[in-house]
């Protein structure tokens, strides 16, 4: 499959960095507040325009995100940079509004079993929570994003019902969330499943702005991005150095890697506004911080045209 943007307007792709939320949340160790804020500030400096910074969930349920307000307060805000946080309910929405977030994101799983396991409530109850907090976002003039988790498959139920996906998107749209993220929470997306899902949503809700959140659990994360680009999707979510995990596939990688994604987009002629070298420095620091090898490939190999001297290279035969 090949892809090339057809016009300058078509060239810009919005990359949302989710490392400090999705990535750090799946780590057992707690990352200091100042370190999180420093990473976010350096991402902004590197040209990242959209960041899912943290989450206003219950600190008891998710201790990694207990410092959400403090992280937000330490970020050097810049116009044109969108800071999104997760919000599960009205209480979280008030905290997010006080922290002056640009966008609140709600998460509901398309799989009833996953929704119960993750949010401890059925889909309808999770949507009722959203209906309750959406007016709070509107009141403060804050953007709303509706995320559909396990949109491309569930480890408990297998393929999810398209009717569930559409029901969730319908509720989001009805309450003013036109930005829809389809989350490959457990890495089950494939190009055909993504095409089917994006087309079904567009057929019913042509005004929806779709973003794709892929995981690289089975090694086809960037192939899914290529397919998304061919479908005309211009927003992707990813994590620095590929940080993140998959709770239902131990040892598997999590989110697609931001530097690898940006590298792919740039070589395909897309624009992201991101300085890839500066981004790679941040990603290497994240790898150092985690004290282990992370899945990102670009930070290991470096730029494509970083030439190697022929002298001293061990000859490989064949
Ligand atoms: Zn993820």
246 catalytic? Reply is: yes
Cα(177) to ligand 1 centroid in Å equals: 20
Q: Is residue 3 part of a domain?
A: no
Determine, yes or no, domain membership for 12. yes
Catalytic residue among 154, 246, 257, 270: 246
CA of 52 from ligand 1 middle (Å) equals: 11
How far, in Å, from the CA of 316 to the mean position of ligand 1? 38
Burial of 302 (0-12, 13-18, 19+ CB in 10 A): exposed
Single pTM value for the model = 0.94
Of the candidates 18, 4, 53, the residue with the CA atom closest to the CA atom of residue 212: 18
Query: Does a structural domain hold residue 70?
Result: yes
The per-residue pLDDT for range 77-131, each reduced to its tens digit, is 999 999 999 999 999 999 999 999 999 999 999 999 999 988 889 999 999 999 9
The rounded Å distance from CA 132 to ligand 1 centre is: 25
Task: Express each pLDDT in 236-293 by its tens digit.
Answer: 999 999 998 766 666 677 899 999 999 999 999 999 999 999 999 999 999 999 999 9
| Residues whose CB falls within 8 Å of the CB of residue 121, separated by 6 or more in sequence, listed in order | 115, 129
Note down the domain range covering 115: 8-301
Element holding 143 (H helix, E strand) = strand 143-149
Provide the token pair at 219: 């090694």
Determine, yes or no, domain membership for 153.
yes
What's the CA gap between 120 and 195, in Å, rounded? 30
Classify residue 315: in a domain, yes or no.
no
Domain-located, residue 242: yes
| pLDDT for the residue numbered 250 | 66
Decide if 317 is inside a domain. Answer: no
- CATH number of the structural domain spanning residue 42: 3.20.20.70
Nearby residues for ligand 1 (ion, Cβ within 5 Å): 22, 255
How many domains is the chain built from? 1
312 found inside a domain? no
Task: Calculate mean pLDDT across residues 36-56.
Answer: 98
């Amino acid at each position: 499959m090949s892809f090339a943007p057809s016009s300058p307007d078509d060239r810009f792709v919005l990359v949302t960095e989710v490392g400090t939320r999705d990535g750090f949340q799946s780590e057992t160790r707690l990352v200091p507040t100042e370190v999180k804020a420093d990473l976010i500030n350096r991402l902004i400096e590197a040209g990242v325009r959209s960041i899912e910074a943290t989450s206003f969930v219950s600190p008891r349920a998710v201790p990694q995100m207990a410092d959400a307000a403090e992280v937000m307060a330490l970020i050097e805000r810049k116009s044109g940079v969108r800071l999104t946080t997760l919000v599960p309910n009205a209480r979280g929405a008030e905290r997010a509004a006080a922290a002056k977030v640009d966008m609140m994101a709600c998460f509901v799983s398309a799989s009833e079993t996953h929704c119960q396991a993750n949010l401890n409530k059925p889909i309808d109850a999770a949507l009722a929570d959203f209906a309750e907090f959406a007016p709070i976002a509107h009141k403060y003039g804050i953007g709303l994003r509706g995320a559909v988790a396990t949109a491309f498959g569930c480890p408990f139920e297998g393929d999810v019902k398209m009717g569930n996906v559409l029901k969730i998107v319908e509720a989001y749209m009805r309450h003013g969330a036109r930005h829809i993220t389809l989350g490959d929470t457990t890495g089950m997306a494939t190009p055909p499943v993504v095409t089917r899902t994006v087309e079904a949503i567009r057929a019913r809700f042509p005004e929806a702005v779709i973003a794709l959140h892929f995981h690289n659990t089975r090694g086809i994360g960037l192939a899914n991005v290529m397919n998304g680009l061919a479908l005309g999707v211009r927003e992707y979510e990813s994590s620095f150095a590929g940080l993140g995990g998959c709770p239902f596939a131990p040892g598997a990688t999590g989110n697609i890697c931001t530097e690898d994604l940006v590298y792919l987009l740039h070589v395909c002629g897309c624009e992201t506004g991101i300085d890839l070298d500066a981004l790679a420095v941040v990603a290497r620091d994240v790898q150092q911080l985690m004290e282990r090898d992370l899945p990102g490939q670009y930070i290991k190999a470096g730029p494509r045209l970083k030439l190697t001297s022929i002298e001293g290279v061990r000859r490989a035969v064949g």
